[in-house]
Structure 1
Amino acid sequence: MHKGLLVWNITLTIVLVGGLLAGYFYIKNYNTCTEEELSTLRQHVDELTVVMAQQSEVINEHAQIINGRMESMNEEVAAAIEKNDKLIREMNGLIKEYQQVINTSATYFDEILDNLKKLSRTMPEEPIS
C-alpha cells in the first residue's frame, strides 16, 4: 500500500513539474503577456511550489514508513536465519548420533556374522529331524 502511495506521489510530482515547465514555456513564447497574465502565472507558480513542498513532505513520510518496515523485516529475516541455523546445528548433531548408531550396529552385525561363521564350522552338517 505504501509503495502505491509513493508511486502516486511521485506521479503527481511529475505532473506538477510538467505544469511548471508548461508555464515557463508559456511565458517564454509569449513575451507580450499582460501584467494580469503575469500575476496569474506567478500565483500559479506559487501554488505549485506550495503543493510541491507538501508532496515532498508526504514522500518523505512514506519513505520513512517504508524504511521502518524494511528494518523490521530485516530483523525478522535475521531472526529466522538464526533460528534456521540453530535447527541445522541440532539436525547435524542428530545426524552424527545416528551415524554413530549405524556404525555401532554395523560392528555388531560384523560380530554376529563372524559368530555365525564360527558356529557353522563347528556344527556338523546333519539334518535336524
Structure 2
Amino acid sequence: MEDKIIRSEEEWKKILTPEQYRVLRQKGTERAYTGEYWNHFEEGVYKCAGCGAELFSSDTKFDSHCGWPSYFTPLAGDRVIYKEDRSFGMIRTEVLCAKCGGHLGHVFDDGPEPTGLRYCINSVSLIFEKRPKK
C-alpha cells in the first residue's frame, strides 16, 4: 500500500462532507438501503472517499440483501486493515482503509464462495469509478 495519509480532525472536516466525516472518522453507519451503492452494479472500482485508495472491484460485489454494498474480497490484502469492534454489545471485525484509517464497515463470515466473507461497507465511505467498456 502507498504511504499512509495522516490529517488532523480539522483537516478531515474541511475535506469530507458531514456524513462522510461521521462515518469515516467517527465510525458511524448509514441506514440500510439508503446509500448510493447498495444496489449499484456497474463495472468499475470502489475507492475510499477519504483518500481515493482503490479498495473493491465490482467483480467481487454481490447482493447480500443486507442494505449495504457487499463484496467477498478487497482488491488486495494490503488495501484494508482489520480491528476488533466490541461496540453495541457485539463482537465484530471492523474494516478500515489501510491508507487513511477511515472506517469503511465490517466483515462477516457469511459471504459467498470463494472466500465465504461479506465485506459490508457504507456507501458514503466509497467513491465509484466506472470501468471503461472493453
Specify the TM-score bucket, using the shorter chain as the normaliser. Answer: under 0.3
Which one has the largest radius of gyration?
1
Question: Which structure has the highest strand share of the two?
Answer: 2
TM-score (norm 1): 0.18
TM-score (norm 2): 0.17
Q: Which has the higher contact order (CA 8 A, sep 6+)?
A: 1
